[in-house]
Structure 1
Amino acid sequence: MKQFEANFDGLVGPTHNYAGLSFGNVASYSNAAQASNPKAAAKQGLQKAKALADLGMVQGVLAPQERPDLYTLRRIGFSGSDAEVLQKAAKQAPALLNACCSASSMWTANAATVSPSADTRDGKVHFTPANLVDKLHRSIEPLTTGNILKATFNNDRHFKHHLHLPEHANFGDEGAANHTRLCSDYGKAGVELFVYGQSATNPNAPKPVKYPARQTLEASQAVARLHQLEDESCVFMQQNPDVIDQGVFHNDVIAVGNQNVLFYHEQAFLDTESKFAEIRRKMNAEMHFIKVSTAQVSIDDAVRSYLFNTQIITLPNGEMAIVAPTDCQENPAVFAYLNELTTLGTPIKQVKYFDVKQSMQNGGGPACLRLRVAMNELEVAAVNQNTLMNDMLFGRLNTWVEKHYRDRLTVADLADPQLITESRTALDELTQILKLGSVYQFQK
């Protein structure tokens, strides 16, 4: 039976804006208050997704969240008509309005953690939406994320959906941004590498000082239990607190893996060698650990270029390629390293560059934009086929973006009541294109 790793990219929502909401994310903070271009952002994302589909990859899309989130604004005391709720929030609590207008669900690496059927005891693909409790603007996503995942992977015979973890700091869960599956082949049992920032229940454990550690060990362990993973298929590894304090807010900003390759910066982890030895033992197969030294690429260059927030994909011919943002081309040290990497005899033979600057300026690169789902051909056939990228869907979604999206949006524009109508009209049409049913509050 054929095996695939599908990538499901988050469609950029109509309220894509730069409000600088993510403390610890250098790009998000440094570009705060700039005008954004939602139309360009959505089209950049679609271009990347279509290009991977054209390479022969299984490529899908995930719908964005409803924004502005008037449901949350009403939960915290704003009342009246939709327009009145929006205007009251803008006047009385603009920071809360900004949080409820964030388009951050575009970064679907934070949507959920996924374990393939080859790893789970019940032989199903398991999904647990991330609770994202560390950031207000993201903590309001999980219920709708769950609805969208259930409408996309909508076959109980093959897919198992869990509720997100308890909404408490002890169980801070950031999804696949801190999870990498290593394997010899997508269809064979592998090792699921859970990377955490701190242990919430061990006061003596190392943790960052300047920026928060968003993923806890306890959350990672809980997801492994929910997904029915055996101890021998899990490795729990701590991210280096020092790099978190340098702006590495998720593991996918400092390391990325695919099959039997783990591409990482030498400062990425604690207890690196002992944990790599555990991975080798549990994999029982050849592993390629590709280390980038600080002398080759500094942490600052890695964060600014998102060298490690790239995708490593296995092409149909068996070669691996890195999908990188054009920012990597524009950084001399990073560009030189990537040119050298393809000559070193590792499985990575190509680098493909894509312009995703609208996403990059808000703190997310190519790897942030996708949720990886390893499946066999029966499971791919069980996915909602209307969400899988092809020429027809690409055309329909580009027409949809042209019809509904603004080409300029400032933080001040978030108080415009017309944005509610525009966003809901767009999302209602999208659910019909993707045949998702009623996944949003306004559709209930």
Structure 2
Amino acid sequence: MKSYEVNFDGLVGPTHNYGGLSYGNVASQSNSQQCSNPKEAALQGLAKMKALMDMGFQQGVLAPQERPDVAALRRLGFAGSDAQVIQQAAKEAMPLLVASCSASSMWVANAATVSPSADTADGRVHFTAANLNCKYHRSIEHPTTSRVLGAMFANQQHFAHHAALPAVAQFGDEGAANHTRFCRAYGEAGVEFFVFGRSAFDSRFPSPQKYPARQTLEASRAVARLHGLSEEGVVYAQQNPAVIDQGVFHNDVIAVGNGEVLFYHEDAFLETEKMLAELSDKLAKVGGKFQSVCVPRSAVTVDDAVRSYLFNSQLLSRADGSMLLIVPEECRGNERVWQYLQGLTSSGGVIREVKVFDLKQSMQNGGGPACLRLRVALNETELAAVNPGVIMTAPLYDSLTQWVETHYRDRMTENDLADPQLLLECRSALDELTQILKLGSVYPFQIN
């Protein structure tokens, strides 16, 4: 039976703005309060989806969230009609309104952790929505994320869904941004690689001093238990606290893996050699041959990696066994990074080609190609059980492009978020989107 890695990309939402909400994310903070272009952001993301589909990769789409989140503002004490809630928040607590309008759900690498059926005890694909507890504007995402994923992967014979972990710091979970799976083939048993920034209960693990470590060891272990993963099929590794303090807020900013290959920066992890040996040993036991590609700090500094998002790239397996690296335009704009990539692809190694995409709108808010996609390994039967409305096709691309052109604004500032009309525009757009993607009622305004 054939198996595939399907990339489900997040569709950028209508309220895409530069709120500067993510402390520890250098790009997010440095572009705070600039004027954004939601229409351009969504079209850039769709163009990447279409291009990968045209290259023969399986591609899907994951819907954005309802924003502004009026229900979240009501829970914080704002009252009256929806318009009055928005106006009151704008007048009394603008940062809370900005947070309630964040389009950060576009970064669906944070939506959930996914374990394929070949790895799990019950032979189903398991999903655990991430609680994203470190940042308020992201912590309000997981209820809608769970409903959307449930509508996309609805067949209980093949798919299992778990609620987000407890919303406390000890179980901070950032989803697939700190999770990678290595395997010989997508339909075969593999090794799941969980990267954590700190331990909540064990003081032997060091913590960063400047920026918060968002993923805990305890959260990673809990997800592995929920998914029924065997001890022999899991490796845990700690992210280097020093690189977190340099703006590496998730592992996917400093490393990316796929198939049998890990592409990582020399300074990404603690106890790197021990970790690599464990990955190699465990992958060998399921028939795989682990390969690592280390980028030395002498060639690319951590600062280069953070500014270019070299590692927040998509590493894709091609039919001939080689790999394609999808990088943002910022990589070409960094002389050292681009020089390294030119040497990498000409060296005869496993990564043979680099393709560049313009994702400036997303990049300026702190997320690149890898942030925009959730990877789900599926066999043919499971792929057939996925809601077909979310699988990218040429007609769907055309429909979504027209949808964006119809409903999205081409500029967004903080003042625009205070406009009650924006909520009505967003709800109208999302109501139509659920029909296009055949999701049913997944948004609070459709349910309540």
Letter in 2 for 1:262: L
Calculate the aligned-residue CA RMSD, in Å.
Answer: 0.7
Residue 412 of structure 1: CA displacement?
1.3
| Structure-1 residue corresponding to 2:145 | 145
Structural mapping, 1:183-194, within 5 Å:
183-194=183-194
- Three-state SS of the structure 1 residue aligned to 2:206 is coil
1:196-224: CA deviation from partner (whole Å, max 9, x where unpaired): 00000113420000000000000000000
Aligned residue number for residue 8 of structure 2: 8
Give the whole-Å Cα distance in 2 for the aligned partners of 1:120 and 1:336. 41
Query: How far apart are residue 346 of structure 1 and its match?
Result: 2.0
What is the 5 A alignment of 1:379-394?
379-394=382-397
Q: Percent identity?
A: 65
* Per-residue deviation, residues 86-123 of structure 1 (Å, max 9, x unmatched): 00001111111111000000000000000000100111
- d(CA) in 1 for partners of 2:74 and 2:393? 39
Which has the larger displacement, 37-46 or 312-321? 312-321
Is the partner of 2:73 in helix, strand or coil?
helix
Q: Which residue of 2 aligns with 1:133?
A: 133
1:416 counterpart = 2:419: yes
**Match for residue 300 of structure 1?**
303
How far is the alpha carbon of 1:316 from its aligned partner? 3.2
Match of 2:293 in 1: 290
Shift of 1:315: 2.1
Which residue of 2 is the match for residue 372 of structure 1?
A: 375
Moved over 3 A (4+): none
Q: How far apart are residue 185 of structure 1 and its match?
A: 1.1
TM-score for both structures, normalised by structure 1: 0.99
Once the two structures are superposed, the pairs formed by residues 253-292 of structure 1 within 5 Å of their partners are 253-284=253-284, 285-292=288-295
User: 2:359 maps to what in 1?
Assistant: 356
Q: Is the Cα–Cα contact under 8 Å of residues 288 and 346 in structure 1 kept in the other structure?
A: no
Q: How does 1:113-262 map to 2 (within 5 A)?
A: 113-262=113-262
**Whole-angstrom CA distance in 1 between matches of 2:152 and 2:350:** 32
1-structure distance, mates of 2:204, 2:76: 36
Shift of 1:317: 3.6
The offset of 1:344, in angstroms, is: 2.2
2-structure distance, mates of 1:97, 1:40: 23
Q: Which moved more, 1:63-72 or 1:312-321?
A: 312-321
SS in 2 for 1:395: helix
Match of 2:340 in 1: 337
Structure 1 window deviating more from structure 2 (384-393 vs 338-347): it is: 338-347
1:275: how far off? 1.0
Structure 2: gaps (5+ residues): none
Q: Which secondary structure state, in structure 1, belongs to the residue aligned with residue 427 of structure 2?
A: helix
* Preserved contact between residue 57 and residue 316 of structure 1 (Cα < 8 Å): no
- Could you tell me whether the CA contact under 8 Å between 1:104 and 1:138 is conserved in 2? yes
Q: Deviations over 1:22-76 (max 9, x none)?
A: 0000000000000000000000000000111111111000000100000100111
> Please, which runs of 5 or more residues in structure 1 have no aligned partner?
none
**Superposition deviation, residue 187 in structure 1:** 1.0
Is 1:91 aligned to residue 91 of structure 2? yes
Q: CA deviation at 1:311?
A: 0.3
Moved more, 149-158 or 173-182: 149-158
- Give how far 1:319 is off: 2.3
Aligned-partner SS, 2:138: helix
Structure 1 Cα separation of the partners of residues 156 and 32 of structure 2: 42
Quote the Cα distance in structure 2 between the aligned partners of 1:211 and 1:412: 29
Cα distance in 2 for partners of 1:127, 1:185 equals 20
- What TM-score, normalized by structure 2, do the two folds share? 0.98
Superposition pairs of residues 53-72 of structure 1, within 5 angstroms: 53-72=53-72
User: AA paired with 2:32?
Assistant: A
- Partners of 2:319 and 2:392 lie apart in 1 by 17
